[in-house]
């Protein structure tokens, strides 16, 4: 496994929507000139934690996900600015059964907890992604339409839902006031379509009934 991970700060907005809620015209967002073609992605993630939930207590999530452009091992930490994600690539060809946490990932978690880690949830997601670009082709944000099926591995409880996310991209406006305007417009578009702010801050929280 490559020991040098990639890190990024996710700044996003999440919404709960019904199965038949129509997708808004995201070209109405400030600065968005074009909406890309839909890109389907099939994602399958296993989330791990210690038996006593130490990662959750530290507002940290550990997952191994296959599918999509960023498949791999991910650590997500909640911060006031957004979710800080650190990612390592898969080193086993993407086998679903390879759930032993790699050494570099364990090292990154050592300040929070030592092993053992066990699977607490499995989340499958049929995602459709759209690139929202400015007039120069820069990625202002990515919109994803997610149809999720989850299993709480601790209890066997299954659940399914549909949600939307808008995550800022490299060409997002630099000023906080402009970002606030973009998200406020997104809120209005979602509300007009029949959606609402997400009740859970993450798919994992919803899968575990939190």
Beta strands in 50-190 (DSSP E): 60-66, 72-79, 82-88, 118-133, 139-152, 158-168
CA–CA distance, 75 with 5 (Å, rounded to integer): 10
Q: Is residue 200 part of a domain?
A: yes
In a domain, 197, yes or no: yes
| pLDDT at residue 36 in the model | 97
Asked whether residue 1 is domain-assigned, the answer is no
Residue 138 lies in a domain: yes
pLDDT above 70 (res 98): no
Answer whether residue 174 is part of any domain: yes
Asked whether the predicted pLDDT for residue 97 surpasses 60, the reply is: no
pLDDT at res. 210: 81
pLDDT band at 96 (very low <50, low <70, confident <90, very high): low
CATH code for the domain of 182? 2.40.320.10
Place of tokens 């800080």: 84
Question: What is the pTM for the complete model shown?
Answer: 0.90
Q: Is residue 171 part of a domain?
A: yes
Residue 184 lies in a domain: yes
Taken in order 47, 51, 55, 57, the sign of the CA dihedral is positive
Q: Which domain holds residue 146?
A: 6-207
* Spatial distance between the Cα atoms of 61 and 53, rounded to a whole number of angstroms: 10
* Per-residue model confidence as pLDDT tens digits over 42-77: 999 999 999 999 999 999 999 999 999 999 999 999
Give residue-wise pLDDT tens across range 100-115.
Answer: 899 999 999 999 998 9
- Confirm whether 50 is domain-assigned: yes
């Amino acid at each position: 496994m490559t020991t040098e991970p990639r890190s990024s700060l996710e700044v996003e907005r999440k919404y709960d929507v019904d199965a038949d809620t129509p997708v808004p015209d995201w070209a109405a967002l400030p600065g968005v000139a074009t909406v890309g073609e839909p890109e389907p992605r099939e994602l399958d993630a296993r989330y791990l934690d210690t038996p006593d939930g130490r990662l959750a207590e530290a507002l940290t999530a550990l997952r191994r996900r296959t599918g999509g452009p960023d498949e791999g091992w991910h650590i997500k930490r909640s911060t006031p600015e957004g979710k800080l994600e650190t990612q390592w690539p898969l080193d086993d060809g993407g086998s679903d059964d390879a759930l032993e946490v790699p050494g570099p990932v364990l090292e990154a978690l050592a300040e929070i907890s030592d092993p053992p880690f066990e699977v607490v949830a499995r989340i499958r997601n049929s995602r459709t992604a759209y690139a929202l670009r400015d007039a120069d082709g820069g990625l202002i944000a990515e919109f994803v339409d997610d149809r999720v099926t989850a299993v709480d591995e601790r209890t066997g409880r299954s659940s399914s839902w549909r949600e939307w996310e808008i995550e800022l991209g490299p060409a997002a406006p630099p000023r906080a006031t402009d970002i606030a305007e973009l998200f406020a417009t997104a809120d209005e578009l979602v509300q007009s379509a029949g959606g609402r702010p997400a009740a859970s801050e993450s798919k994992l929280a919803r899968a575990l009934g939190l």
